[in-house]
């Protein structure tokens, strides 16, 4: 018949050695049998295989000679050929089963030593590398690769037989499944060591392509690197805090060069102060609400001390429309500390203009007046007092936001 349409690798069901590793100290590895749960897994695997097959399919089984793989094969065949719940199209006498010693488990060296010595050996293997580390008195994965390579060659030659089945099933072990795939698909050593083990009675399906007759792996193999990546993403979620940006203009009015960037934050008192001796006015424009009513003037300024641009809205209370006045209405005095983070100073603790020792009393009164109006909700027009208050407090409450120098 030629090349089979499916090659299916199945790891053995749960064994007593999987449930209790210390059993290998007294029972030879090839004599370890299935648990009661393992027999259930084998029966379920037989029903799953039956659902994947076509009524006209023929089957060849190749199984490791270890007891746990032979019992798994027996459980699969019992479910596959059973007349329950319906007559099976696969009579037992039509299925060929071969024992193949080259599919046996990696040799771990006769009876295994105590748990402490085994723990030391597993740790040493992890440091040395799973593929090349040779178990004392046993094999390395590289040794297992050599014998699997010979089996692959034999299997490939068998595809030329006229009576070869349409579905080939290999019942083997976890490491041998990965070694088989490594040989067939030319995996690198690094990728082999990154692969995680397959589960008990998990199906690894290779399907022949009708276009080029090559076998396409139908499974997405699990890797340790992807597992670590998934855990890191769960442990370190992205910050939900959005980055606030401010408009930046240019003195020459070149709109094509206008851009947006995050600017160094200034405290509220500095933002609304009219003492702009250290700044240069860039542009002014009217601000109107949804009803078209004039609500203030947008002023953009350049801070010459650091070369950055800032913008602020001057409420209509400060002067005539479009022409903000330096004469402000009186307001209650607020105590402003001389310097520090909570007094409106810079984030580094340097004194701000409102807390400096300058002799310009008018500038201090201006800043205090602006801050007082902001905290009282009077800086956004009568339609948005709460928004103005929140904006005023924002410069103090969001002190943990990152700054871009």
Residue numbers annotated as active site? 12, 71
Reference 208, options 216, 198, 196; nearest CA is: 216
Task: Give the span between the Cα atoms of 316 and 296, in whole angstroms.
Answer: 5
Vertex 247 angle, CA 241 and 251, to 5°: 155
Helix spans in 96-223 (H): 115-128, 141-158, 174-185, 189-194
Question: Tell me, what DSSP letter sits at residue 160?
Answer: T
Task: Give the span between the Cα atoms of 244 and 291, in whole angstroms.
Answer: 27
Which stretch of DSSP H or E encloses residue 227? helix 224-235
Question: Tell me, what DSSP letter sits at residue 19?
Answer: H
User: Cα 341 to chain center, whole Å?
Assistant: 38
Vertex 58 angle, CA 57 and 60, to 5°: 140
Is residue 52 a contact partner of residue 4, using CB atoms and an 8 Å limit? Answer: no
């Amino acid at each position: 018949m030629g090349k089979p349409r499916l090659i299916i690798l199945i790891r053995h069901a749960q064994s007593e050695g999987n449930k209790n590793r210390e059993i290998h100290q007294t029972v030879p590895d090839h004599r370890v049998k299935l648990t009661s749960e393992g027999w259930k897994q084998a029966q379920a695997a037989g029903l799953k295989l039956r659902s994947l097959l076509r009524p006209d399919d023929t089957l060849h089984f190749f199984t490791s000679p270890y007891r746990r793989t032979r019992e798994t094969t027996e459980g699969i065949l019992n479910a596959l050929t059973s007349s329950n719940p319906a007559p099976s199209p696969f009579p037992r006498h039509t299925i060929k089963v071969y024992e193949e010693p080259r599919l046996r488990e990696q040799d771990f060296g006769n009876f295994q030593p105590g748990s402490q010595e085994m723990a030391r050996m597993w740790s040493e293997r992890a440091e040395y590398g799973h593929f090349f580390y040779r178990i004392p008195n046993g094999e390395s994965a590289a040794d297992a690769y050599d014998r699997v390579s010979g089996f692959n060659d034999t299997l490939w030659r068998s595809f030329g037989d006229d009576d070869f089945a349409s579905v080939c099933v290999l019942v083997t072990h976890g490491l041998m499944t990965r070694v088989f795939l490594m040989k067939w698909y030319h995996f690198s050593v690094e990728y082999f060591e990154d692969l995680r083990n397959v589960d008990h009675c998990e199906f690894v399906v290779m399907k022949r392509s009708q276009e080029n007759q090559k076998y396409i792996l139908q499974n997405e193999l699990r890797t340790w690197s992807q597992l670590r990546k998934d855990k890191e993403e769960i442990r370190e979620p992205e910050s939900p805090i959005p980055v606030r940006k401010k408009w930046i203009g240019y003195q020459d009015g070149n709109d094509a060069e206008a851009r947006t960037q995050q600017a160094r934050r200034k405290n509220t008192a500095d933002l609304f102060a009219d003492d702009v001796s250290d700044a240069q006015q860039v542009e002014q424009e009217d601000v109107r609400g949804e009803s078209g009513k004039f609500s203030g003037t947008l002023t953009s300024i350049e801070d010459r001390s650091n070369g950055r641009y800032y913008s602020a809205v001057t409420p209509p209370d400060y002067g005539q429309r479009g022409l903000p006045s330096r004469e402000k209405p009186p307001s209650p005095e607020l105590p402003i500390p001389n310097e520090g983070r909570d007094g409106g100073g810079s984030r580094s603790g340097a004194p701000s203009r409102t807390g400096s020792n300058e002799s310009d009393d008018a500038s201090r009164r201006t800043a205090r007046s602006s801050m007082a109006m902001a905290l009282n909700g009077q800086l956004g027009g009568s339609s948005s007092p709460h928004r103005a208050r929140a904006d005023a407090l924002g410069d103090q409450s969001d002190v943990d936001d990152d700054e871009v120098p």
